[in-house]
A and B are shown apart, each in its own frame.
Chain A
């Protein structure tokens, strides 16, 4: 069902690398699951609204008052790489 090409496309969207040796297995595994999911097509849902939120919820608002006082040090505490106070990442190839 899912071609290796499609698998590669999805992997790229998700920023994952499926090694060549695993492509077939991933493709087969996903196809298996998708085949099972295909059972949903048996149901006529043309007049059924989708559920995005399982509970009816009213507006939830926060007032426009400053509450956060996190600061620079705590922000950078977990940074894998930083320089001059910035998070540093390898150059984006353009």
Chain B
């Protein structure tokens, strides 16, 4: 039996406002627990929430960037349940009337574009952190840090439009990219500023009705998300193939064992008793506010990608890679503006620059090679000052020392040798040292030209212009 996976993602994103959603506490917290708190986010008797305008502004930006309809009137609701990290015993969220609905995100998987619809976006407050006591040597207790309570979240719920873990990953990456472009969140899965839960089910190919789904939580990286979704699909496939039924449940990804495990059933029995939040008036978002926000949006990833492909003539794939990160895209454009060929620039960025960033574990803003340094180097290749091969060494020098290409080339004497007489002399020396190979070439082993080129490059420490070396070798060898 062939099954089709059906996947939807619920993504929680922490907004990077200065203060929490309902109180004036800072969202920048340090290491001391329970220090970034106040009576309001602690849920003390008598307190009331006061809504941070900037949270709404960022939510509207997100809604517009994902082509949602922004509601002119939306409401706050209480979601009631008991947990130590939830001080009021309820979370202020949005239930019946969220701020935005009916959006979409375009993804590309294996070169094929696909639209993933967004069901809704709503705002809510984050809970605190619960640490299990055994981490602090006390297995009989759990520990609560409420610094994070009240940090603003938006929850983005997709429709169940994804059909593979690749699509899920692509959706999440595109979402992250959009949110970073908007500057509304750090979107760091490892740090928890972006969290994704996956709803996974499978159904026989051709069947319209959805199968029973499970909800998978605790995947804190793109890689784990993909693995967890694949695991779930396989697990459910096995159950159905064996004639069993999939149980609707919440499961947690275990990254040490690479499996999903069912969450304790007590967590399941939640009746949230949603009702309209009496302490907050309905939220009115005027059409003017929406229009103003729309005007202020930056060029978004898809638009930038299309522009890069069209204006710079680089392949779609390159454009996609370069525009995933807004700062990387900006880096690329700066390099090109200084006169570099876009495709060349793109190659160098996607290979060498990305490698450096990965090795150092930093973002493009911390790249040791600045756009100017790179573009100067590319110019030096273009005008023949250095060869492409030497450039790789120059790059490494720039990266490690922070010196500009001109300085590196000068200091290390890496200027390309283009003097034909000098090259010719060098070639004569190689011939003299390798008479057998000369004879062999003249006898017909033309492949030996590679050997000679190699020897010349070795002797000139790579500085000889390869094209000239080839030309002169052929002239001399006949």
The answer on direct contact between A and B (beta carbons under 8 Å) is yes
Q: Is residue A75 contacting chain B, with contact meaning CB distance below 8 A?
A: yes
Known: A62-B50, A62-B51, A91-B133. A75 touches B42 (CB 8 A): yes
Q: Which residue of A lies closest to B271 (CB)?
A: A13
CB distance from A63 to the nearest CB of B (A): 6
Question: Of the candidates B32, B38, B141, B264, which one forms a contact with A91 in the assembled complex, judged by CB atoms under 8 Å apart?
Answer: B141
Give the CA-CA distance A50 to B375 in the complex, in Å.
65
Known: A87-B143, A92-B142. A70 touches B25 (CB 8 A): yes
Q: Which residue of B lies closest to A61 (CB)?
A: B53
Known: A59-B281, A72-B34, A86-B34. A94 touches B276 (CB 8 A): no
Question: Of the candidates A13, A52, A61, which one forms a contact with B52 in the assembled complex, judged by CB atoms under 8 Å apart?
Answer: A61
Q: Mark B1-20, 1 if CB is under 8 A from A, else 0.
A: 00000000000000001110
Interface residues on B, range: 35 or more
Decide if B142 touches A85 in the complex (CB within 8 Å): no
Decide if A52 touches B141 in the complex (CB within 8 Å): no
Q: Is residue A65 contacting chain B, with contact meaning CB distance below 8 A?
A: yes
Q: Is residue A42 contacting chain B, with contact meaning CB distance below 8 A?
A: no
CB distance from A1 to the nearest CB of B (A): 19
CB distance from A4 to the nearest CB of B (A): 18
Decide if A89 touches B144 in the complex (CB within 8 Å): yes
Decide if B18 touches A64 in the complex (CB within 8 Å): yes
Q: Which residue of A lies closest to B57 (CB)?
A: A64
Q: Is residue B384 contacting chain A, with contact meaning CB distance below 8 A?
A: no
Give the CA-CA distance A59 to B75 in the complex, in Å.
11
Q: Mark B251-264, 1 if CB is under 8 A from A, else 0.
A: 00000000000001
Q: Which A residues are CB-close (under 8 A) to B280?
A: 60
Q: Mark B278-294, 1 if CB is under 8 A from A, else 0.
A: 10111110000000000
Give the CA-CA distance A62 to B230 in the complex, in Å.
44
Decide if B278 touches A62 in the complex (CB within 8 Å): no
Q: Which B residues are CB-close (under 8 A) to A21?
A: none
Question: Of the candidates A58, A72, A90, which one forms a contact with B35 in the assembled complex, judged by CB atoms under 8 Å apart?
Answer: A72
Give the CA-CA distance A65 to B52 in the complex, in Å.
9
Tell which of A61, A68, A89 has the most Cβ of chain B within 10 Å. Answer: A68
Q: Is residue B338 contacting chain A, with contact meaning CB distance below 8 A?
A: no
Q: Is residue B317 contacting chain A, with contact meaning CB distance below 8 A?
A: no
Q: Which B residues are CB-close (under 8 A) to A94?
A: 264
Known: A59-B284, A64-B52, A75-B42. A86 touches B145 (CB 8 A): yes
Q: Is residue B363 contacting chain A, with contact meaning CB distance below 8 A?
A: no
Give the CA-CA distance A90 to B39 in the complex, in Å.
23
Q: Is residue B138 contacting chain A, with contact meaning CB distance below 8 A?
A: yes
Known: A64-B17, A90-B140. A85 touches B33 (CB 8 A): yes
Question: Of the candidates B25, B56, B284, which one forms a contact with A58 in the assembled complex, judged by CB atoms under 8 Å apart?
Answer: B284
Known: A87-B84, A87-B144. A58 touches B281 (CB 8 A): yes
Decide if B24 touches A52 in the complex (CB within 8 Å): no
Decide if A85 touches B32 in the complex (CB within 8 Å): yes
Q: Which B residues are CB-close (under 8 A) to A89?
A: 84, 141-144
Give the CA-CA distance A92 to B134 in the complex, in Å.
12
Q: Is residue B115 contacting chain A, with contact meaning CB distance below 8 A?
A: no
Given contacts A68-B23, A83-B136, 6 further A-B contacts (CB under 8 A): A13-B273, A59-B284, A64-B54, A72-B35, A91-B132, A93-B266
Can you spell out 13 A-B residue pairs with CB atoms less than 8 angstroms apart? Answer: A59-B283, A60-B50, A67-B19, A67-B24, A70-B25, A70-B38, A75-B37, A75-B146, A83-B136, A83-B138, A84-B143, A85-B34, A86-B145
